Amino acid sequence: MFFQSLETLIAKAQQGNKRAWLKLVKQHETQVYNYCLRMLSHPDDAMDLMQEVFISVYKSLPSFRGESSFNTWLYQIVHRRSVEYYRRRKLHQGLDDIPEESCEHSELETNQLQSEQHHELKAMMNNLPWEQRLVVELKFFQHCTFEEIAEQLGISTNTAKSRLYSALGKLKVHLEAVDG
Amino acid sequence: MANLDSLFTAWLEGESLTDEQIALLQANAEYASMMNNAMQWQQQSQHYETVPVPNWDRESTMPKVQKQSLFFGAGVWAVAASIVFCAWVFVSNPQQGNQQLLEQVAKQTNLLESQQKQIDQLQNIITAQNEVQQQQMYQLAKEAIKTGRVERQEDIASVLAYIKTQRAQDQAYLRMQLNDLAEQVEGGPLPTVANNLEY
């Protein structure tokens, strides 16, 4: 009886079971955190956004009817919250302009920033406008089809495609700039 | 071109293309470039090392339950408990209940009387304290006024002494000047000489 299916956990969490909710959070926090990290590039921002996401999920959980998969539903909330977060942050400070910190990182942050691949990914992501970043995230990291992307973001399939094509074009410009 | 687009879309969607179809896409500079860039993203995705989530307060995602209502009106609960207890005493044994109630009332009356006595004593102490304080304040004020008067008298005396000294010095100076003048006019005609009399 140690294993509980996702449906059971959701049902229990909907009834206000604290343990079930915490288990549900634990099961999904890594993917949500990494999504936030890729989108925002900064561990503190990613942490804040993840917390906002789970608060939002907790509040909306009673309205989850299982019409779509929990993951799809969860990511719809993640996208909405991330867009709101990005806009809110942009009002105060351009996220793309945040300078890279050279010291005073947490151990985790340092490890992450020291990773060359993460650096490269961060640079590639930061090179893109927010909407294109979302499409890239969904296409290459969440492995969604164009239809799924369109559904998640509430846009047409053609718009999703054109955003991805633009993002791919921008990467070319970025790589050319990096190569000199 | 439309054919290339649908091929590229199919490739992006993960459909397997034949070598010929891939060659077609590679032959077009624009699509070849996009394919390369897409492969870069795919590589990033494949080699992405999942970052572990730092320790965080998962319970913070749950809004706190309002527990205030549970503790609402602790006094009300106490009163209710007393009423229930009294009712239980009456119901369980009316005679014994009456006896107990009378004892309880007597105890309460004694307690109230002793409390009243304590309150009276406290009031007396406070009144006495107030009187003592008032007397002390009066003494203090009197002392302050007296001290002020003496100081003022001393000040006036010192000012008078100073004025007297000054006056004596002025007179001496004037006398000297008059003597000088008298010496100067000694040799002159008599009508011009002033009577320089010393006080």
Q: What is the pLDDT of residues A60-95, one digit of tens each?
A: 999 888 888 898 899 889 988 988 888 887 766 555
Side-chain half-sphere CA neighbours of A70 within 13 A: 18
Q: Is B73 left (phi over 0), alpha (psi -120 to 50) or beta?
A: left
According to DSSP H, which parts of A61-141 are helical?
70-92, 107-114, 116-126, 130-136
Boundaries of every domain in chain A: 1-95, 127-180
Confidence of residue B16 (pLDDT cuts 50, 70, 90): confident
> What is the per-residue DSSP string for A119-132?
HHHHHHHHTS-HHH
Q: Residue A89: is it exposed, middle or buried by C-beta count within 10 angstroms (0-12/13-18/19+)?
A: middle
A54 vs B34, B38, B61: nearest CB: B61
Q: What is the pLDDT of residues B121-148, one digit of tens each?
A: 999 999 999 999 999 999 999 889 988 8
Boundaries of every domain in chain B: 2-47
Per-residue confidence (pLDDT) for residue A100, from 0 to 100: 45
Tokens in use for B49?
């090392």
Give the residue among A153, A160, A152, A138 at the shortest CA–CA distance from A35: A138
Average pLDDT, chain B: 82
Per-residue confidence (pLDDT) for residue A174, from 0 to 100: 62
H-run or E-run covering B179 = helix B94-185
Residue of A165, A166, A170, A175 to mutate, testing the B interface (most B Cβ within 10 Å of its Cβ): A165
Largest Cα–Cα distance of chain A, in whole Å?
59
Comparing alpha-carbon positions, the chain A residue that sits nearest to B50 is A34
Walking along chain A (180 residues) 10 residues at a time, the average pLDDT comes out as 76 89 92 91 90 92 87 89 84 53 48 64 85 91 90 89 89 60
Cβ proximity of A104 and A43 under 8 Å: no
Residue of B45, B50, B57 to mutate, testing the A interface (most A Cβ within 10 Å of its Cβ): B45
CATH of A1-95, one of 1.10.260.40, 3.30.420.40, 3.30.2310.20, 1.10.1740.10: 1.10.1740.10
pTM, whole model, 2 decimals? 0.56
Closest CA–CA distance from residue A50 to any residue of chain B (Å):
10
User: Which CATH number describes the domain made up of A127-180?
Assistant: 1.10.10.10
Per-residue confidence (pLDDT) for residue A156, from 0 to 100: 93
Percent of chain B with pLDDT strictly greater than 70: 78
Residue B73 pLDDT > 50, yes or no?
no
Closest CA–CA distance from residue B110 to any residue of chain A (Å):
53
Give the residue among A119, A120, A37 at the shortest CA–CA distance from A78: A37
